[in-house]
Each structure stands twice: as C-alpha cells, then as structure tokens.
C-alpha cells in the first residue's frame, strides 16, 4: 500500500500483519486522494484506520497542525491519541489532545508549541480556532469519528464553523454507525465526491474473537443484596482487573465507599479531567484491580 517505512515498523511492532478489510478499503481510497465516508459498527479497526490515515500524510519537518480528528467524548480523544502514539512510535509525528474540562492555558501552550495531529471534542476545538491557538491553514486531513453522534448532540453550528475554517482542499474521512440526514448534509456541502464504504455488522471476518469470553448474569431479588453478591463475584472470579459500570455518577461514589477497599477507585464526569486521567492511568498500569465508572 506504499505506506511510509517508519509507519510500517509501527504496525509490525504492534503485531499487525494483515489489515482489517475496513483499513484496507479506507486506506486504498485515501491514498488515491479521495474523500471517504465509512458506515461501520464498533470493533472494526476504526481508530487504527484513522491513525494510519493521518500519519501517512504528515510532514514531520513542518511543525504546524496537519491533521484534525474530531470525536464526541473526552475518553475517545485520549484513546485515539494512544493508538496514534503506538502505531506512530517510529515516526516523528506529535499528537495533542484538546478537550473540554482541561486547563485552557495549558491547551493553548501545547498547541502553540506545534503539534502535527490534534484530536479533540467539538467545543474545545472551535474555541482553540477562535483563539488562533489552533492554526488550520496547513491541515491536510480532517477526520470525524462517530459523525452521527457528533451531529446529534446539538453541535452542528460549531461543527460547521470548524469546517468553514479548514483549507478548501482538505481531505476528509467521516465515520458513522448510521448515515443520518445530518451526515448526508455534511457530505453534500463539504465533501468532494466521497467514496462510501459500508462494513456490515455480523460479517464473519469483522467479528472479534470471543472464544475465551464467558457471559452470565446473577438475579438479585432484593436491592440490598446487590453489594454482597458483587463482593462475592469479585472474590470468586479472581480477575486481575475488573471494570464495574454504574448507571449514574452518584452510584459510582456510593459503590466505591461501600466496597471500602484501597484496591478500588472510581471515575465519572463530575471529576476534574486531570483527576480522571490520573485514576485511569493508574488502573491502566495495574496499580489497582477494580475500576468503578459510568459508561461516559
């Protein structure tokens, strides 16, 4: 596929020897200079696809931002950055995350130092452009992940403001689970004859390997018994690490207090972003085995 040698080294270092069908189809069209619209469910290699797409197009000798990736949530931005840094570890490309809930001054300073790739949420990216900390004149690649989610969240005005600030010849990659009327409007107004690729859910080659996964549920008739049952499960399963999802942020705080163990921590949206990052990083590094969290 004529990818850069340093990028190929990163791919091989990750243990990837054959691209997912989504990656092959998107990269082939992208390397031909086409705009691309991808309709795809989760777990089809989208984040790695975005990483390869933008890294292939980066000129490391130019410190200006050359690729912009929009995602709907802070955690998504951090995950995309990790994938870019992993796959691009042998390149000289620098990636910056710009999301709400973080210190604006630090964000501006990071951007002003020069970053080849910026991953962020709509509101913060729009703010950084208006403050002229994020300069868009050298952007060659623009990626929208979960475009349907981005456009459903009442952010259309900010989205279009960002798009109007991009160079006329920017190459676009738009990914969505469903192609809604708003996504169609985006394609019609801002994309140039895009290639539309569809990866159907349930295609055998797209399924993750779940052969080692067991799923079960425990029925609890009395709400007060849930905590005891949960403690029994954590003891019996003996997993190295566990994630417990709660419906609300208050439930996260209550459950962390009820478990009363130094090996348990919780994160949710009411926490400061730096605190959330610190907790997640410690969990990621194995500092404690149980993380209690909300879905977003």
Last residue of a domain, one of 138, 171, 206: 206
The verdict on 202 and 233 lying in the same domain is: no
The verdict on 106 and 195 lying in the same domain is: yes
Within 88-225, where are the H helices?
Answer: 104-112, 122-130, 147-152, 156-164, 181-190
The tally of domains found in the chain comes to 2
The verdict on 177 and 55 lying in the same domain is: yes
Decide if 144 contacts 122 (C-beta within 8 A). no
The CATH number covering residue 18 comes to: 3.40.50.300
The verdict on 172 and 275 lying in the same domain is: no
Instruction: Report residues of the chain scoring pLDDT below 70.
Output: 41-44, 153-156, 200-212, 296
The verdict on 101 and 29 lying in the same domain is: yes
- According to the model, what pLDDT value does residue 235 have? 80
Render the burial of 175-187: b for 16+ CB within 10 Å, e for the rest: bbeebeebbeebb
Spatial distance between the Cα atoms of 241 and 113, rounded to a whole number of angstroms: 37
Decide if 143 contacts 70 (C-beta within 8 A). yes
- According to the model, what pLDDT value does residue 204 have? 38
211 within a domain of the structure (yes/no): no
98 within a domain of the structure (yes/no): yes
Last residue of a domain, one of 173, 206, 239: 206
The verdict on 191 and 253 lying in the same domain is: no
- According to the model, what pLDDT value does residue 176 have? 84
Instruction: Say how many C-beta atoms besides its own lie within 10 A of residue 112's C-beta.
Output: 12
Last residue of a domain, one of 206, 237, 264: 206
Domain of residue 227 covers: 223-294
Please state, in angstroms and as integers, the Cα–Cα distance from residue 287 to each residue in 54, 75, 263, 284, following that order: 33, 20, 8, 8
214 within a domain of the structure (yes/no): no
216 within a domain of the structure (yes/no): no
The verdict on 100 and 73 lying in the same domain is: yes
The verdict on 235 and 200 lying in the same domain is: no
The verdict on 183 and 149 lying in the same domain is: yes
The DSSP secondary structure of 89-118, one letter per residue, reads TTS---EEEE-TTS-HHHHHHHHHT--SEE
Spatial distance between the Cα atoms of 9 and 31, rounded to a whole number of angstroms: 19
Q: Helix 5-13 and helix 74-87: axis angle, to 10°?
A: 110
């Amino acid at each position: 596929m004529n990818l850069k040698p340093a990028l190929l080294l990163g791919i091989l270092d990750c243990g990837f020897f054959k691209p997912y069908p989504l990656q092959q189809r998107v990269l082939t069209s992208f390397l031909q200079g086409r705009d691309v619209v991808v309709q795809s469910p989760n777990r089809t290699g989208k984040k790695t696809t975005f990483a390869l797409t933008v890294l292939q197009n980066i000129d490391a000798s130019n410190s200006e931002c050359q690729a912009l990736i929009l995602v709907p949530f802070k955690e998504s931005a951090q995950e995309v950055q990790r994938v870019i840094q992993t796959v691009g570890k042998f390149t000289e490309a620098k990636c910056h995350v710009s999301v709400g809930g973080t210190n604006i001054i630090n964000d501006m300073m990071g951007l002003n130092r020069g970053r080849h790739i910026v991953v962020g949420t709509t509101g913060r990216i729009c703010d950084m452009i208006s403050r002229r900390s994020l300069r868009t004149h050298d952007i060659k690649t623009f990626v929208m992940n979960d475009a349907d989610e981005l456009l459903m969240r009442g952010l259309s005005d900010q989205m279009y403001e960002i798009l109007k600030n991009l160079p006329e010849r920017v190459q676009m990659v738009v990914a969505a689970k469903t192609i809604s009327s708003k996504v169609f409007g985006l394609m019609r107004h801002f994309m140039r004859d895009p290639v539309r690729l569809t990866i159907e859910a349930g295609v055998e080659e797209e399924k993750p390997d779940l052969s080692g996964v067991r799923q079960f549920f425990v029925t609890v008739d009395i709400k007060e018994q849930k905590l005891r049952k949960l403690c029994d499960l954590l003891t019996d399963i003996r997993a190295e690490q566990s994630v417990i999802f709660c419906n609300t942020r208050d439930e996260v705080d209550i459950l962390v207090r009820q478990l009363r163990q130094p090996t348990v921590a919780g994160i949710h949206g009411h926490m400061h972003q730096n605190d959330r990052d610190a907790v997640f990083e410690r969990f990621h590094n194995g500092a404690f085995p149980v993380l209690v969290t909300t879905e977003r």
